[in-house]
A and B are shown apart, each in its own frame.
Chain A
């Protein structure tokens, strides 16, 4: 069963012994799961309204004075609307500001204005910034301590609402360390964020067809220096498939492509993601089918790489899951 309100709860617990942590909200307190913090620590919660340029620079000022601002809003309003402030007021001075960017990729029916489809690509070029993306309940629940240890700005591509737990609760997210979910040497699947859940199901199907599949979940997009990635890449017979809830330009797929070129690895790469297009407003299940970002898409690409036809039907894949919420649910309505 998916779990709800994870960030809301873990942030309150974590902040208890972190008095320097302050939370800034861009008029999205319920939608970014910081109402618990607001109620528990009203003196450390600051409503900044719909004024994101000011919010990001203001966070820089607080960080200069030794506070650790945790800025919460939808990702698009940070990296798109206030990119100059993000870069000049936070990243250039290398300040301990934590940017929690919600609604990654096509996970929201809020449409093109709310869908962060190129945030990793845009932010990857900014020096000093660490970029993370969470993929399950354990990632969300365990990220705050490792993030706090980073002496510089961090952007977190966030999940919210009901989230399935894919990884053991005691196995904390570690910066710069991918999770190896299965090992194999026919093809590798490197996935991030919400894609990992779909990939797990698709990989299980492929393995039942006799394919040897290595599956790796990546949570640190920058710096992208985990040696595990090279170990995974160098042993694959047919190739590697990256799967990301993001444009295939500038995100996980591009990071893996760079690694292949830089280390002269001889492996074919196929990227699953948004292929240089904006999306539009609809449910996550609908959008991921429309834009070939689901388990069926992963199987199709695996067939192409291996030259095999597994004869699998959509019905072999699991039904709608936790992160594919009903468009009409209460959670979703509040979100917008």
Chain B
């Protein structure tokens, strides 16, 4: 992308927000706040920063055909095809918080890797475009709805790529709630022990979880110093600034896994949602009047 890439990324981020708000209205419920906090992160990774191989997934994904190991089932890692499943110098993108599925699908559309028509099947019976994705879902190389497992698996991938002398990066998109899981720290301990500097973690630190503010439910801060003390290289940035995201992901420190902490806002771009903070894990509208209010906002986007 040219040096004038920022307006394109900002436009894609806007489209991600608009598409997910549209779905939230249509289905009266969706993981909307996650789209609002991570739109710039996802748009920047897909459109600008990562070297992803072309998608080999179907532009309009077929129906769910079965679990791995079953006759005609999707093989392991099927959804990763949409991220190219790169080898050699190409990057791998692994999505950890499966609840962000709708954001990933929307990001794939903006990247030209998935048809916008596919959204017609989002969260409908028999579709691979599930609400909480698994590895048959577009963009999902792993089944990561149980939090904290992707980083360890990505560590295995990163070690395998190093053993094969591949130069491409293993990039993990993570949510901040996952820092409450013990396995995340087991994983980081291991990444640092094996000096896996080919792994990069991009975390959406939006400070909210189901029960409320992360600092009230189970405080994870100070994240930066904790991560550093575990042996990580850490960047702290404004997660709505595409240039900052791009620069931070390109930063490397030899021998250390790298974390980019993207501090974000769960109502960014839709200020109508701000009064409902911090209970935005799954956004539904209370009544017809509120639905109309958001529909009008959507129409004006």
Contacts and interface: CB of A to CB of B under 8 A. Distances in A.
Contact of A89 (B69, B77, B152): B152
A62 B190 contact: no
A152 interface: yes
A203 B142 CA distance: 50
A57 B153 contact: yes
Interface string A91-122: 01111000000000000000000000000000
Nearest to A93: B76
A128 B186 contact: no
B190 A51 contact: yes
A57 B157 CA distance: 10
Interface size class of A (residues with CB under 8 A): 20 to 34
B149 interface: yes
Contacts of B189: 49, 51, 54
A66 B166 CA distance: 14
Contacts of A61: 152-160
Contacts of A59: 156
Interface residues of B, number: 36
A84 interface: yes
A127 B67 contact: yes
A61 B141 CA distance: 10
Contacts of A57: 149-153, 155-156, 183, 187
A88 interface: yes
Give the secondary structure class of B's interface.
helix
B146 A88 contact: yes
A240 B189 CA distance: 51
Given A63-B156, A64-B157, A94 B186 contact: no
B153 A64 contact: yes
A66 B85 CA distance: 13
B149 A88 contact: yes
A193 interface: no
Contacts of B149: 53, 57, 84-85, 88-89
A97 to B, nearest CB: 10
A58 interface: yes
B186 A54 contact: yes
A140 to B, nearest CB: 27
Interface string A79-92: 00000110011001
A176 interface: no
B159 A54 contact: no
Contacts of A49: 189-190, 193
Determine which residue in B69, B151, B152, B153 has the highest number of CB atoms from chain A within 10 A of its CB, and name it. Answer: B153
A67 interface: yes
Interface in B68-89: 68-69, 76-77
Nearest to B148: A53
B152 A65 contact: no
A55 B190 CA distance: 9
Contacts of B151: 57
A46 interface: yes
B182 interface: yes
B275 to A, nearest CB: 37
A60 interface: yes
B199 to A, nearest CB: 10
A53 B186 CA distance: 8
B155 A127 contact: no
Contacts of A62: 156-157, 159-160
A46 B159 contact: yes
A292 interface: no
B178 interface: no
Nearest to A52: B186
A58 B77 contact: no
Given A53-B183, A94-B76, A58 B153 contact: yes
B298 interface: no
Question: 5 shortest A-B CB distances, which residue pairs?
Answer: A61-B156, A57-B152, A65-B160, A94-B69, A93-B76
Given A57-B153, A65-B161, A94-B68, 5 more contacts: A53-B182, A65-B164, A67-B163, A93-B142, A94-B76
